[in-house]
Amino acid sequence: DGGITQSPKYLFRKEGQNVTLSCEQNLNHDAMYWYRQDPGQGLRLIYYSQIVNDFQKGDIAEGYSVSREKKESFPLTVTSAQKNPTAFYLCATRGQGYAREPQHFGDGTRLSIL
Amino acid sequence: QQQVKQSPQSLIVQKGGISIINCAYENTAFDYFPWYQQFPGKGPALLIAIRPDVSEKKEGRFTISFNKSAKQFSLHIMDSQPGDSATYFCAGTSGSRLTFGEGTQLTVNP
């Protein structure tokens, strides 16, 4: 079954703890993205990667880190430096087979503070 | 810096009515304007999109109107149905990046 798998669906973080959100895809897409969604603020770009072993900061990268060791995987770590981590986190992918190819989204991970 | 402004924040329409959501953008480098639909607990899904050299695009009950000179575009949902109740996001694409509006929560009453 093709698609984007985000796990876990719900995640709880203790103060001072780092947590890692998983994003796996089998669409063979080169580009992958992480967004944060807060009520009334739309989706904001955290990090993105257009190729393995390379990634760029988005608009709100502070307190987050990523890696892209495999084409299929783009994990996001929410570090203890992120003081307001409670949000809905969305992973997206995009193929580069044609111009204006759209981004496709997973079903998200909801992160809360204990 | 918010480069895509979306309104209204919430919208309630009756079944069979027309839902209209408006967006305005600042970045003239945007070269594609998609609309996404999101249901609770799910990721956004592409609904319809338009290029800036086209003034209107229609797919079924959904129509995008685009005004390049005013840097504005809108989504019209004709014959709105309760199943259309969702959050709608407009966006602008520049290269491989998307910039989203703040979203509109649409409720269609039966």
- With helix as H, strand as E and coil as C, how does chain B read? CCCEEEECCEEEEECCCCEEEEEEECCCCCCEEEEEEECCCCCCEEEEEECCCCCEEEECCEEEEEECCCCEEEEEECCCCHHHCEEEEEEEEECCEEEECCCEEEEEEC
Tokens representing residue B2 in the block: 């918010």
Q: What is the pLDDT of residues B51-85, one digit of tens each?
A: 999 999 999 999 999 999 999 999 999 999 999 99
The chain B residues in contact with chain A (CB within 8 A) are 4, 6, 9, 31-32, 34, 36, 41-46, 49, 51, 89, 93, 96-103
Mean pLDDT rounded to a whole number for chain A: 92
Cβ count near A16 (within 10 Å): 7
SS3 A18: coil
* Measured CA distances, B105 to A18, A38, A42, B33, B108 (Å): 32, 13, 11, 19, 10
Q: Rounded to whole angstroms, how far apart are CA atoms B44 and A29?
A: 18
Instruction: Please judge whether B43 and A48 are an interchain contact, meaning their C-beta atoms are less than 8 angstroms apart.
Output: no
Which of the four pLDDT bands, split at 50, 70 and 90, describes residue A98? Answer: low
Kindly tell me if the per-residue pLDDT of A1 is higher than 60.
no
High-pLDDT (> 90) share of chain A, % = 79
Quote the pLDDT of residue A15: 84
Angle, vertex CA A61, rays to CA A58 and CA A63, nearest 5: 170
Mean pLDDT of the B78-103 span: 94
According to DSSP, the β-strands at B62-67 and A76-78 are unpaired
Tokens representing residue B103 in the block: 């979203």
Mean pLDDT of the A32-44 span: 91
Q: What is the pLDDT of residues B22-57, one digit of tens each?
A: 999 999 999 999 999 999 999 999 999 999 999 999
Tokens representing residue B34 in the block: 């998609």
Nearest residue of A to residue B37, measured between CA atoms: A105
Tokens representing residue B64 in the block: 């995008």
Kindly tell me if the per-residue pLDDT of A8 is higher than 80.
yes
Mean pLDDT of the A77-96 span: 93
Instruction: Please judge whether A40 and B6 are an interchain contact, meaning their C-beta atoms are less than 8 angstroms apart.
Output: no
CA distance B103 to chain A (A): 6
Q: Is the distance from CB of A23 to CB of A6 less than 8 angstroms? A: yes
Quote the pLDDT of residue B10: 96
Q: Is the distance from CB of A63 to CB of A81 less than 8 angstroms? A: yes
Instruction: Please judge whether B101 and A42 are an interchain contact, meaning their C-beta atoms are less than 8 angstroms apart.
Output: yes
According to DSSP, the β-strands at B10-14 and B104-109 are parallel
Q: Show Cβ contacts of residue A97 under 8 Å, excluding neighbours closer than 6 positions.
A: none
Quote the pLDDT of residue A96: 77
Instruction: Please judge whether A100 and B93 are an interchain contact, meaning their C-beta atoms are less than 8 angstroms apart.
Output: yes
Residue of higher predicted confidence among B1 and A14: A14
